[in-house]
Amino acid sequence: MKLHLNIKQILPLVAFVAIIYSGCKKYDNPPPFFEDPITRSVVQRKVIVISIDGLTGSELKTIAPPTIDGLRKTSKYTYDVLRGAVANDVASWASMLNGVSYAKHLIQSDDFLPTPKPNSHETPAVFRNTFDYILQYKSLKTAIVTPWPNLRNYLRIADFAPVVSTDVAVKDSVINILNTQSQIGALVANFRDVQAAGGNGGYVATNANYKNAVLKADEYVGNIVTAIKARKTYANEDWLIILTTNHGGSSNDPKAGFLIASNKSLKEEELKKSGFNTILFKGSSVIAQVMNDNGLYDPGETKDFTVQMQVKFNVQTSYPGFLSKGTPMLGSAITGWMFRQGGAGVSAAVGGTLNGGTGKVEYNTGNAADLSWHTITMTVKMDNATTRTLTTYLDGVQVTTANILSRKSLSSSEKLTIGYKNVDNGGTSLSFQAADLCYFNTALDAATILANKGLKDITQHPKYANLTGYWPIDEGAEGILNNKAPGGYNMELSGAYTWVAMGKDVPTSVNPDPNAGGKSILLTSASVSASMLYWLNIKILPEFGMDGNPFLNQFEIEFLK
């Protein structure tokens, strides 16, 4: 029950308390001091996302439409948003609105439902969209305005979702909502004419249809910005205007897009990937795997192969596996192969107990865990009917060699994996960065390994035709490690992974970036949702599963007063 007192009731009560209080004091009361009343206005953060579908970052930069270019001058922006593994209309919009990379949400069809992975019996995870979080944590109204019914249905939880069929109707409906709804706090507007125009003559500034559609969309953006500033409550609002695109180009051939996050307090700054950016493989949960290689990386009983990777350990710990295609090493059992760390040393282990071979055997690879970058290599070669030779190398120099024929087949149902693998229940403090994982379907000879240990252009490798897997591990964002070999498969990340900008601390195979000392910020479609929640002061919890970078948190000195 709430107690309501008027001023006449309060004054006698205050006086009574004051008399009692003064009677207990042993010293004189100070003279009364009256301050002028302070009026505090609460400024409410609000956000609008305007997507101009099909507008390529490079062509936006070339056309430089006046309204958008003006907003760029009070923004953090990029003309090079990283595309996901699948970046069609649906997949890109799903990432924009749930903050999750395609590798996780698996949404690519018009029903906005996840598509199960081939040959997988797992039920795909379902991720909540941004409006769902906003409506849970904030007393704000939300709106989606798009001529695309499927997208409108995906955000049907929104408070306002007017049915429109043209871009001009989108503009008019957005302005109407801004003019009439004082509690609107998050709004998504979707223009689609630019993408349609590019289909007639190309998604380039030299195509008059495309350029004119971009300029018309820019005009609509100007109308919307004018409506925001004309709101009766604008003085007590702090708007973040996010201009972006689902992708550049067409849905069938997507190109890099753009993202402009504009606020009156932000200073103009272009965001770019700086230097070498790789994954921090930390603890037991952060791993990257080829989910299904269709036997491509199966070593078998007689196959020749080479595995090579650049690695830098951050701690020295006992016995964790960190690169493998084999079972955990518990006791003497292992089937397949594994690199494992032990203090400052690294060893390669093989065994085929599940395939009728003898137990595990480990071969020294040298002191590769001395907290600096090293190149580790293992080759396996079937020399003849009685000899299958395993050889290890450290920085191109041979360390050990042995006949492993008694291990029989190294085939394993385990996935090709970067990250923790259990070795006798140890090493969960594992922490390392990796780069340039290579898998050749031949056993490289010692001279070739030494001559190419720090090769900066993999296409110049003399055995490039035998390269079936090459993962630079330098994407800087998203949940996919792209395979740049002529054939092969991508790796998928899992666990609470983070991308780390290494600055000038790079492996020998990476060209150092002389300008790598500043911030390295690579934006993706998922950054849109993360930025919306960040701006609205909604804490992004681990259980959200978000991959998006709420990058404005790195510039708070500019807008937090």
pLDDT per residue as tens digits for the range 388-406: 999 999 999 999 999 999 9
pTM of the model as a whole: 0.80
Q: What is the pLDDT of residue 2?
A: 36
Provide the CA 127 distance to its chain's centre, in angstroms.
15
* C-beta atoms surrounding 342 within 10 Å: 18
Q: What is the pLDDT of residue 359?
A: 84
Q: What is the pLDDT of residue 17?
A: 33
Beta carbons of 486 and 466 less than 8 angstroms apart: no
Q: What is the pLDDT of residue 330?
A: 84
DSSP letter assigned to residue 359? -
How far apart, in whole angstroms, are the C-alpha atoms of residue 494 and residue 56?
A: 30
Pairing, β 184-191 against β 141-145: parallel
**C-alpha angle 339-342-343 in degrees, rounded to nearest 5:** 140
How far apart, in whole angstroms, are the C-alpha atoms of residue 22 and residue 75?
A: 57
Q: Enumerate residue ranges in the chain where pLDDT < 50.
A: 1-40
Beta carbons of 504 and 458 less than 8 angstroms apart: no
DSSP letter assigned to residue 406? G
How far apart, in whole angstroms, are the C-alpha atoms of residue 198 and residue 52?
A: 12
Residues 6+ apart with CB under 8 A from 178: 184, 187, 224, 227, 228, 231
Q: Which residue has the tokens 């408070």?
A: 159
Q: What is the pLDDT of residue 19?
A: 32
DSSP letter assigned to residue 460? G
Angle, helices 130-137/526-535, rounded to nearest 10 degrees: 10
**Torsion region of 435: left, alpha or beta (phi above 0 gives left; psi -120 to 50 gives alpha):** beta
- Tell which residue, 52, 16, 399, 366, has the closest CA to residue 193: 52
Residues 6+ apart with CB under 8 A from 75: 260, 261, 262, 263, 266, 268, 269
Helix spans in 389-503 (H) = 446-451
How far apart, in whole angstroms, are the C-alpha atoms of residue 76 and residue 556?
A: 12
Question: How far is the CA of 187 from the CAs of 169, 344, 416, in angstroms?
Answer: 15, 54, 43
Q: What is the pLDDT of residue 205?
A: 97
